[in-house]
Every structure is written in C-alpha cells, then in structure tokens.
Amino acid sequence: MRPRPMAAVVELLLAIAIIAAGLRILSVAFVLGSAPWLLLAGLVSFRLRGPGWRAAGLARPASVPWTIVIGVLVGLGYQAAGTCIVEPLIARLTSGELPDVSQFRNVIGNEALLVFWLTLSWTLAAVVEELAYRGWILTRCVEIGGESRGT
C-alpha cells in the first residue's frame, strides 16, 4: 500500500465526526454508541484502499487456547482491580460515593438478561472498539506520520 496521508486525514476527520456524533446525538442510530459506526467506516476503508486487517496486526495467534487463558486472566484481574481498588479510590478522592448502578436492578435474578447485556457490552468493547480504534484509526495515524523503526 502506498501511503496517502491526505486520504488518511480525511478518514481521521470522519472518525472524529462519528465519535462526536455518538457523544452528542441521542438517537436510535447511536443507541450502541459510535463504535459500530466506526467499525463500519473502517471496514469500508480497508476494503477500498487497504492495507487489510492483517497489516493492522489482526492475525491468528500462535496458540488460540493460550491466548484465551491469558485474555480471561487479564480480564478478571482488570475487573477486580477496577472494582476493588480504582472505583473506591476515585470515590474517596471525589464525592465519597460509589457510582449509582440502580438502573441495572432489572438484571438481578434475570440470568438471560445478564448474559444478553454482558455479551453485547463485551462484544462492543472487546471486538468492535479494538478493530475500529486500533485496527483502523491507528493505522491511519501511522499513514499520516510515517512508520517508525518500531512498527
């Protein structure tokens, strides 16, 4: 792929517009945030002008089971640290109160709803956002700034 910095600038401006719209527009189109729209724009971009998802670092890992084990352990550690250390620390430094999570009361005792929301949020956060931000947007930033010896 021959670098085209001006095209990458246009794509980054599009990404910024999508993110801003997701933050400001409360509509059905952005009910899941801006991540699905970023992914769609990234897919169109990679399809039309490359370099392809493998060039963005998205390739099959050497060991899928080991990758899953590492991912689960890191995820559990991250969640535990956030819940037990980071959130209480932020609460102590600010208002002294933990966030209000009462809007999730309908999930208590409803395993099907819990599985639905966990699947949706994990899919959006883990897959869609990573593909959009790391796969598409950062690839375009490299195209604008040029590759370093580390890439």
pTM (two decimals): 0.57
More confident residue, 95 or 147: 95
Interatomic CA distance for residues 147 and 138, integer angstroms: 11
Task: Tell me the percentage of the chain whose pLDDT exceeds 90.
Answer: 13
In the numeric block, the tokens 């102590």 are attached to 92
Interatomic CA distance for residues 140 and 9, integer angstroms: 8
Q: What six digits make up the tokens of 36?
A: 């699905």
pLDDT of 148 reads: 63
Instruction: Give the tens place of pLDDT for each residue, 71-92.
Output: 899 989 998 998 899 988 888 8
Interatomic CA distance for residues 90 and 105, integer angstroms: 23
pLDDT of 104 reads: 84
Which of the four pLDDT bands, split at 50, 70 and 90, describes residue 132? confident
Instruction: Give the tens place of pLDDT for each residue, 37-72.
Output: 888 888 888 888 766 666 666 677 889 899 899 989
pLDDT of 83 reads: 87
DSSP string for the chain: ----HHHHHHHHHHHHHHHHHHHH--SGGGTT-SHHHHHHHHHHHHHHH---TTTTT----S-HHHHHHHHHHHHHHHHHHIIIIIHHHHHHHTTSS----GGGGGGTT-HHHHHHHHHHHHIIIIIIHIIIIIIIIHHHHHHHH---TT-
Interatomic CA distance for residues 59 and 49, integer angstroms: 19
